[in-house]
Structure 1
Amino acid sequence: MADFDRRTALKGGLTVSAVGLLGTATTSAADAAPVVAEPKIHDTAAWSARPPSGTIEVQNHKPTYIVVHHTVEPGNVTDYTLEHAFWASRSIQDFHMDTRGWIDTGQQFTNSRGGHITEGRHRSLEILRGGTKHVLGANVGNNNSTCIGIENEGLYSTEDVTPALWDSLVKLVAYIASQYGISPEFIKGHRDFNSTECPGTVLYNRLPELRTEVGKLLGTASPKVDLPGWPLLKPGDTGPRVRTAQELLRARGFAVPVDGVFGKSTKDAVVAVAERNGLERDACGATAATDETGFLGSDVWPLIVGSGTDPRALKARLAG
């Protein structure tokens, strides 16, 4: 196989590095992950994708992160057929092109509740097989040049994924990681980058398990323990973490109460911070514009933390 020969030829001292917003990983090619078999991936022609409305940009570098999403809609359906997976892929593309105004599907790959994997943005499968370049998508606001994204069909805020979806997700992520030499700790959720519920609390909480399972397929040691991330706060939330956010907002000049209640004034302040700093409002939901206005997450917290505050210590306190 040509792809196997390409990977075998790497065994000789080249260095694979990943540098990005959430950390750095470097491995020598001699220690790189073994080849993982490509799972069945249905390309854009298989599900009758529309042609893109613009040029697909292929960047001359590998992605740093593999990012897990959920589609929100059409919800947690029980139609697990391949035909349904193809329909869902077409629906996602229509929404992204006709409503969002993107040139094509935003994510590189889509995973159905029946465990069927489809190519999302055109050329994503071709470029992944090459293992050296990256198709620029539109699924992680302000970070698309470093991220390759997988939309998982369904809503996973309170419900778990199907066994078939989980199995195909593990295989797809392991294949992507193998092709690009990505270490399992660089498997992230959308909310690690943007202020969004995505990929849902249940699926997000299973990411450590995903990293472990992928690591086993790669033949690597157990992934490093993640440092605490920034918590996701939403309008209506209450408690000490909201109070901390309000204290930081007040220090930034916003007239918000410090009462631990994420009310309208706190929401308005968070929106103002995001707008002033040009953050892309990346409301996840591949087939519906979910309203996540005013969510305070990974991209907003650093903007309200003062220069005299240790972010790691604050994250640890907020996680406690």
Structure 2
Amino acid sequence: MVDRRTLLKSGLAATAVGASGILGTGVAHAIPSPRIYTCTEWSARPPAAPITVENHRPTYIVVHHTVDPGNVDDYSKAHAFWAARAIQNFHMDTRGWIDTGQQFTNSRGGYVMEGRHRSLEVLRGGTKHVQGANVGNHNSECIGIENEGLYSTEDVPGALWNSLVQLVAYMAQQYAIDPEFIKGHRDFNSTECPGQVLYDRLPELRDEVSRLLGYAARRSATTEWPLLKPGATGQRVLVAQRLLRDKGYNVPTDGVFGPSTKDAVRSFAAARGVPSATCYASANTDESGFLGADLWPLLTTDPHALKAQLATSR
């Protein structure tokens, strides 16, 4: 039996597994490597320690937004290189990491850059991946792209979108990753990253990547854990409050994500040893007290039933 990774890497017709529903119909297309500027080209600092290369392909391609320096209007290559250096300096000097956290960086002008050293070399090989630091507790299975800007309420520039599509399609080809496994940072951690607007475009990104790979677009039936933030209201908040009360936290059951609910979520995360996995490229983002993908399953003994309940609640 031919699996989806073999199909994606070999370019065989997806109809070979059509009956299983893995990839649908269509013929795989070869995706050329986009222009990716190396660490040397943007004048990166050397890493502080040897880079870890995982002896397997990543499972997920993860989309982020940088938040800082915001939605600037400088779309030049010089600015893109400056942003890459600024992120590396922050990650090494403030976060204490050995190098840039993400494997790749995409500027608002559409310039794609290698993030962590060796990421491009290893991506081209297609059988291993560089371990980054961009998805809490999932770095051995994820390869991440930081997209310059803040996309909570504003859309991405066209140049950034186009380069993101090309980069993700190339990654999916190299690592034989089904477009279904293109995710946002919030699908793993309690963070708004990559911003609501960009997150809402991930189905479109999956469709575009499927088209470039030559497969019929298909929408996964998989549901993700919802993200609750202070100020949220509704049934999902009420569910969270009842679960927190079951864990011994004194919160109201009014369906309003107020200060006491935020404090309870923050305390619960600390008690369970879940670190704050905020937007890692930003020095100014405080997302403590957010309730998302890494906390919901810990609030219940039956995550599958809870996820199904939340999918029908608002």
Task: Give your verdict on TM over 0.5.
Answer: yes
Query: CA 1:116/1:226 → structure 2, altered by over 3 Å: closer, same or farther?
Result: farther
Query: CA 1:251/1:215 → structure 2, altered by over 3 Å: closer, same or farther?
Result: same
Could you tell me the percent identity over the aligned residues?
Answer: 64
TM-score, length-scaled by structure 2: 0.90
* Structure 2: segments with no counterpart, 5+ residues: 1-5, 13-20
Tell me by how many angstroms 1:307 deviates. 3.3
Report the AA paired with residue 98 of structure 1: D
State the aligned residue count. Answer: 298
Tell me by how many angstroms 1:95 deviates. 0.3
1:308 and 1:91 map into 2 onto residues whose CA distance is: 39
Is 2:290 the partner of 1:295?
yes
Paired residue for 1:107, among 91, 102, 109?
A: 102
Q: How do residues 240-319 of structure 1 correspond to structure 2 at under 5 angstroms?
A: 240-307=235-302, 310-318=305-313
Contact 1:66 1:173 (C-alpha < 8 Å) held by counterparts: yes
Q: How do residues 7-18 of structure 1 correspond to structure 2 at under 5 angstroms?
A: 11=10
Is 2:113 the partner of 1:118?
yes
Report the AA paired with residue 235 of structure 1: P
Tell me by how many angstroms 1:11 deviates. 4.4
1:313 and 1:166 map into 2 onto residues whose CA distance is: 32
1:284 and 1:168 map into 2 onto residues whose CA distance is: 21
TM-score, length-scaled by structure 1: 0.88
Is 2:180 the partner of 1:171?
no
Contact 2:64 2:147 (C-alpha < 8 Å) held by counterparts: yes
Q: What is residue 157 of structure 2 aligned with on the other side?
A: 162
Q: How do residues 115-154 of structure 1 correspond to structure 2 at under 5 angstroms?
A: 115-154=110-149
Tell me by how many angstroms 1:33 deviates. 4.6
Contact 1:228 1:315 (C-alpha < 8 Å) held by counterparts: no
Report the AA paired with residue 310 of structure 1: A
Contact 2:135 2:185 (C-alpha < 8 Å) held by counterparts: yes
Is the partner of 2:312 in helix, strand or coil? helix
Tell me by how many angstroms 1:228 deviates. 2.5
1:122 and 1:156 map into 2 onto residues whose CA distance is: 27
Give CA-to-partner distance per residue, 1:123-179, whole Å, 9 cap, x none. Answer: 000000000001000000010011000000000000000000000000000000000
2:278 and 2:31 map into 1 onto residues whose CA distance is: 33
Is 2:36 the partner of 1:54?
no
2:268 and 2:140 map into 1 onto residues whose CA distance is: 23
Contact 1:32 1:181 (C-alpha < 8 Å) held by counterparts: no
Judge which range, 178-187 or 248-257, deviates more.
248-257
Report the AA paired with residue 149 of structure 2: G
1:295 and 1:225 map into 2 onto residues whose CA distance is: 26
Give CA-to-partner distance per residue, 1:15-63, whole Å, 9 cap, x none. Answer: xxxxxxxxxx978xxx995431000000000000000001100010000
Paired residue for 1:96, among 91, 94, 97?
A: 91
1:70 and 1:285 map into 2 onto residues whose CA distance is: 9
Q: What is residue 182 of structure 2 aligned with on the other side?
A: 187
Q: What is residue 17 of structure 1 aligned with on the other side?
A: none
Contact 2:227 2:293 (C-alpha < 8 Å) held by counterparts: yes
Is 2:235 the partner of 1:222?
no
